[in-house]
């Protein structure tokens, strides 16, 4: 007991840097995550964990309140352990002009966090035997002019295809205000834009890959992408505030997005395309998605293991950042213990989003913003707090 007490005392006096305030906080000034918890808990493990989580929540709240004050953070935050919230809150407004309240049920444009759901739809079809990840794209679109591209390459961004979001309107041969996924497929068939590199040569992040994957889902399922996602993922998981965006559907409760000067960011022609973006969800619903992934409700452990495995190990990909990689719909960052932090960030118009998951220790950070702010991706101070919390939980488990 005395040895454990000594270890805890050592841990609790570790200083942490509260980066948002620009000052170093120590146990002596009351800002350390674990200040005085040992004495208050009387060596009771459960009480110790509960109080540490409470203190973690306070520090995370302090960090985001400073973010709100200092750089105008506008959005929702959810931090959880094993699917149970440690901290959740919203800051700012759903509509900056009306100044109405955001909630944890507010539906944000996920931007590229949508790719985690699109990839899972493909893996679901693969588990059912309806596709193989080694299938070529010609099995779904026979006239597609680029040979040697498989679903696996689309999932891991190894196709070499150019990004459709940089194509001008005339490339799509449509008079509609918004282009569609079918327009993207037809553009590649008729225009044949040059590849950026040969297929499977190297990782090049490309939105086209995931727009094509959504079209594959439609081709195989004989349903629209939105119908399929509702049937297979959103409805079974009770994700009631999650949907695939349709710019013509005024009934959808999609939040506006804004630039840094609080001017509304209107839809453009690319907002009719989905899979790479275009899924809206709430902080509460994304936590349901996180829980479903951890518990195998939608995909098997085997599929998830493959999705979380680095798929770009050639010498051309991530050469300067060997600790970074990409699996199937997930980015990953190698940690000191050689495990991987699994995550995806998103940016589209004024939406800056984070969905980050410590698979080994059960922690999840969700940040959804609807006002353009690159600082939304700055979550390291939160991970630093969670690291200390995890140390307390591990020590408490030995008592």
Model confidence pLDDT, tens digit, residues 180-222: 999 999 999 999 999 999 999 999 999 999 999 999 999 999 9
Domain that holds residue 20: 1-72+379-399
Q: State whether 313 and 224 are in the same domain.
A: yes
Q: What are 269-297's pLDDT values in tens digits?
A: 999 999 999 999 999 999 999 999 999 99
pLDDT tens column, 102-126: 999 999 999 999 999 999 999 999 9
- Note the pTM of the prediction, 2 decimals: 0.90
Q: Give strand pairing partners of 347.
A: 352
Same domain? 63 vs 91 = no
Task: Calculate the alpha carbon distances from 264 to 8, 124, 135, 161, 179 in Å.
Answer: 50, 37, 42, 31, 21
Question: 3-state SS of the chain: helix, strand, coil percent to 5?
Answer: 40, 15, 40
Q: Which two tokens stand for residue 171?
A: 């490339």
> Are residues 140 and 83 both part of a single domain?
yes
What is the chain's Cα-based Rg? 22
Strand ranges (DSSP E) for 200-300? 243-244, 279-281
Same domain for 146 and 264? yes
* pLDDT (mean) for 74-92: 97
Angstrom distance (rounded) from CA 341 to CA 361:
10
Sheet holding 363-369, edge to edge: 84-91, 75-81, 363-369, 351-358, 340-348, 331-334, 324-326
Q: Same domain for 245 and 189? A: yes
Same domain, 41 and 114: no
Asked if residue 266 and residue 140 are part of one domain, the reply reads yes
Q: Are residues 157 and 84 in the same domain?
A: yes
Q: Indicate if the pLDDT at residue 91 is higher than 90.
A: yes
Structurally, how many domains does the chain consist of?
A: 2
């Amino acid at each position: 007991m005395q040895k454990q007490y000594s270890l805890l005392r050592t841990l609790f006096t570790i200083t942490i840097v509260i980066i948002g305030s620009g000052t170093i906080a120590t146990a002596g000034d009351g800002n350390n995550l674990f200040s005085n918890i040992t004495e208050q808990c009387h060596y009771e493990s459960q009480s110790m964990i509960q109080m540490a989580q409470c203190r973690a929540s306070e520090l995370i709240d302090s960090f985001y309140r400073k973010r709100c004050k200092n750089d105008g953070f506008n959005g929702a935050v959810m931090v959880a352990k094993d699917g149970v919230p440690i901290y959740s809150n919203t800051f700012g407004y759903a509509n900056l002009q009306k100044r109405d309240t955001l909630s944890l049920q507010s539906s944000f444009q996920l931007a590229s966090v949508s790719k985690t759901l699109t990839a899972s739809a493909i893996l679901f079809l693969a588990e059912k035997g309806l596709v193989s990840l080694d299938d070529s794209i010609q099995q779904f679109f026979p006239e597609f002019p680029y040979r040697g591209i498989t679903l696996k390459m689309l999932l891991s961004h190894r196709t070499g295809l150019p990004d459709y979001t940089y194509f001008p309107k005339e490339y799509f041969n449509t008079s509609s205000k918004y282009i569609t996924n079918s327009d993207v497929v037809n553009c590649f068939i008729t225009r044949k834009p040059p590849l950026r590199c040969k297929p499977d040569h190297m990782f090049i992040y490309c939105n086209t890959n995931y727009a094509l994957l959504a079209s594959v889902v439609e081709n195989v399922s004989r349903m629209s992408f939105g119908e399929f996602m509702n049937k297979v993922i959103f409805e079974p998981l009770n994700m009631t505030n999650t949907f695939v965006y349709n710019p013509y559907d005024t009934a959808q409760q999609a939040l506006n997005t804004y630039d840094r000067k609080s001017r509304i960011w209107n839809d453009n022609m690319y907002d009719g395309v989905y899979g790479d973006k275009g899924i809206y969800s709430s902080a509460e619903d994304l936590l349901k998605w996180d829980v479903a992934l951890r518990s195998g409700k939608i995909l098997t452990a085997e599929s998830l293991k493959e999705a979380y495995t680095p798929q770009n190990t050639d010498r051309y990909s991530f050469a300067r950042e060997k600790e970074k990689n990409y699996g199937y719909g997930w980015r990953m960052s190698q940690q000191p213990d050689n495990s991987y932090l699994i995550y995806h960030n998103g940016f589209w118009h004024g939406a800056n989003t984070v969905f980050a998951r410590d698979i080994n220790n059960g922690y999840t950070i969700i940040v959804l913003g609807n006002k353009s702010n690159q600082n939304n991706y700055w979550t390291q101070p939160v991970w630093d707090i969670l690291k200390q919390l995890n140390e307390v939980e591990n020590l408490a488990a030995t008592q």
